[in-house]
Structure 1
Amino acid sequence: MLFVALAVLLSLVVSAVVALYVAYPHRGERMPVVPWLGSAMERAVDAAPVLEDDERDLLRTR
């Protein structure tokens, strides 16, 4: 029972962080209450690898 409660809590926290990211930093706006969280999300997104359009063609298997 404890495992299920922790899993639900973890999924709620992750979904809240994703919703906050989509609502503010993804659109280029600052987060009003916790600007440090927005800055941390921007740094994490900048560090993540991104596929460019020409690289996406290399992954097609057809």
Structure 2
Amino acid sequence: MLAIVLMMLLVLVISGGVVAYVAYPHRGEELPVAPQLGDVMRKGVDSLPTIGDYEDIRA
């Protein structure tokens, strides 16, 4: 039972982080409550490899 509760809390924390990232740093805005958290999320995403725009792939 404890494992289920802990996993559900972990899922809620991760989903809250995703929502916070999409709502602010992804659009280029600062998080109003914790700007340091937005900087950390932006640095983490910048370090990951991503696929470019569709025009970049077709070339």
TM-score range, shorter-chain basis?
Answer: 0.7 to 0.9
Which letter maps to 2:44?
Answer: A
Runs of 4+ in 1 over 6 A off after TM superposition: none
Q: Which residue of 2 aligns with 1:6?
A: 6
Unaligned runs of 5+ in 2: none
Identity %: 51
Q: Distance in 2 between matches of 1:44 and 1:31?
A: 15
Count of residue pairs brought into register by the alignment: 55
Q: Which residue of 2 aligns with 1:60?
A: none
Report the Cα offset of residue 24 of structure 1.
0.1
User: Superposition RMSD on alpha carbons, in Å?
Assistant: 1.1
Whose radius of gyration is greater, 1 or 2?
1
Q: Which residue of 2 aligns with 1:33?
A: 33
Unaligned runs of 5+ in 1: 58-62
